[in-house]
Structure 1
Amino acid sequence: MKLPIKETIMTGVCVAILCGLGTWQIKRMHWKNDIIQRLETQYENGRKAAPLTTAQLDEISDDKNPMAYGRVSGHLLRDQSILLGPKSEEGRIGYHLLIPLQVEQGHTLIVNAGWVSALWKDNGEDRLAVLPQDVTVRGIMRVPDWSSFASKNSPDNDFWYRADIAQIAKAKNLKNPYPFLLYADQVDPELADVKPIEEHWLPRNKHLQYALFWYALAMIMLGIFGIYTHGQNKKIPA
């Protein structure tokens, strides 16, 4: 069988790229599995563990993809909180309450304390005034994400739709903010009228499906090349 040089080279390059993408997804799958296993262990041990130190928080922030579960103690900066949303909860419209937590050595950790009703938009200052300030927060620490369709923040008007840490820190004049949020599943003392939203969060791991997709494309391309080559060879006189 005679192979067309140009088509063979192009097919070989494309198949190599597709297989490379599939292999990269397999590596990502193993990486994500390690994170999930680590978080599962932290969920088991972190519920009763001592609050994390500043050094431990610094170590988490040095990770390229910080994800950790634990407890953090500090002082809530109630006057610098924001309402993120609107967000729905069991059919009701409200917001996520984000409050900066001042920890040791002047660092700040923004806490997603949970869901609050739409009433907070009108009388949030009064409700914030009765919240405790010195607290211990337990939850998952991770980089926030948001839909690409989410509206842009308007800091000047105090309208927030994206949990953009850098933007929030600048608008609220927060010192040394950590590059991740603490999504609370428990606050001690409890925050009145605030419903925690995160419980046993784990990152999605669909990398195996993605890998199979790329490998399948590579096989399809090889099949098409084989059919094409067979057809071309049939046209060549014996």
Structure 2
Amino acid sequence: MKIRFKYRPVLLLAMVACFTAIAIGNFQRSRAEQKQNAFDRIEGARYDAPIQVGAALVDAAILDKHPANARGHWLADRTVLIDNKVHNGVAGYHVITPLRIEGTSLCILVNRGWIAAPRLRSELPTLPAVRESRVDVIGIAHSPSGKVFELAPDHSKGRVWQHLALDRFREWSGLTLQPIILLQTDEVHDGLVRDWRPSESGALKHWGFAIVWYLAAAAAAAGGLVASMERRKPDE
């Protein structure tokens, strides 16, 4: 029995499916590499010397994910709580307080950490007091993306906000802000939880997706070849 290949429309469809699956697999592989590189950069930056944030506006892209410190005075009356923050399965808030940088009117927002929410949503947690004297705050610089998915407009006027956006906080508070948020890491023993380290890079998930799509590409190619095969007896 002889086997020869004959063009059939299904072969074209199979090849299109194969190349599409390869392209998606390559995209997932690229995402995995990007996330792993970002994770490695964050982990490596933790051992760098902190960069002093002062009176000059910083470059958010350069400072992002690097250790930083700022010196100044807390503006406790401008503290807001970011809702729907979960730690170890417990609902709570992130506590955001601006710090007026010493020697300037410029401020930097500091995420002081996580606090558990009371049982009743109508109640707010009792926040730990901050020092009125000058403080040095050490943390990890975070550059917010500025893009937030909203089911409805967030008209944040009180202390509880659904998410944090620098432009919105600037408009609400009237403060001039650095373009970064400082995730506080120094221990001040105030009861707030400061756990900013990602548990994993997230790359493994994308590697899994990539393998699935590469297998799909192989299956499409094999299916197209099998469908285009034509078997004939020697005397035909």
Tell me whether the two structures share a fold, i.e. TM-score over 0.5.
yes
Aligned to 1:134: 135
2:194 paired with 1:214 = no
Give 3-state SS (helix, strand or coil) of 1:97's partner: strand
Give me the whole-angstrom Cα distance separating, in 2, the residues matched to 1:55 and 1:208. 43
* Closer, same or farther: CA 31–116 of 1 in aligned 2, 3 Å: closer
8 Å CA contact 1:87–1:94 kept in 2: the answer is yes
Aligned to 2:167: 166
Structure 2: state its 5+ residue gaps.
none
Give me the whole-angstrom Cα distance separating, in 2, the residues matched to 1:56 and 1:14. 53
* Closer, same or farther: CA 129–34 of 1 in aligned 2, 3 Å: closer
Percentage of pairs with the same residue: 16
2:32 paired with 1:15 = no
Measured after TM superposition, the shift of residue 16 of structure 1 is 1.8
Measured after TM superposition, the shift of residue 82 of structure 1 is 0.6
| More strand by percentage | 2
8 Å CA contact 2:112–2:184 kept in 1: the answer is yes
Aligned to 1:95: 93
Give the AA of the match of 1:214.
W
Measured after TM superposition, the shift of residue 140 of structure 1 is 5.3
| More helix by percentage | 1
Measured after TM superposition, the shift of residue 100 of structure 1 is 2.3
1:38-117 alignment, distance < 5 Å: 38-43=41-46, 45-46=47-48, 49-53=49-53, 58-59=58-59, 61-62=60-61, 67-75=64-72, 76-89=74-87, 93-103=91-101, 107-117=106-116
Measured after TM superposition, the shift of residue 209 of structure 1 is 1.6
Aligned to 2:196: 198
Measured after TM superposition, the shift of residue 191 of structure 1 is 6.3
Give me the whole-angstrom Cα distance separating, in 1, the residues matched to 2:15 and 2:231. 22
8 Å CA contact 2:58–2:178 kept in 1: the answer is no
Give TM-score scaled by structure 2 length.
0.71
Measured after TM superposition, the shift of residue 2 of structure 1 is 0.5
Give me the whole-angstrom Cα distance separating, in 2, the residues matched to 1:220 and 1:132. 67
Give me the whole-angstrom Cα distance separating, in 2, the residues matched to 1:103 and 1:201. 32
Give me the whole-angstrom Cα distance separating, in 2, the residues matched to 1:32 and 1:153. 30
Measured after TM superposition, the shift of residue 132 of structure 1 is 5.3
8 Å CA contact 2:69–2:137 kept in 1: the answer is yes
Give the AA of the match of 1:40.
E
Aligned to 1:186: 186
Higher RCO (CA < 8 A, seq sep 6+): 2
Matched residue pairs, number?
Answer: 222
* Closer, same or farther: CA 205–70 of 1 in aligned 2, 3 Å: same
* Closer, same or farther: CA 212–169 of 1 in aligned 2, 3 Å: farther
Aligned to 1:121: 124
The answer to which of 91-100 and 137-146 deviates more is 137-146
Instruction: Specify the structure having the higher radius of gyration (Cα).
Output: 2
> Over aligned residues, Cα RMSD in angstroms?
3.8
8 Å CA contact 1:131–1:191 kept in 2: the answer is no
Give 3-state SS (helix, strand or coil) of 1:155's partner: coil
The answer to which of 115-124 and 143-152 deviates more is 143-152
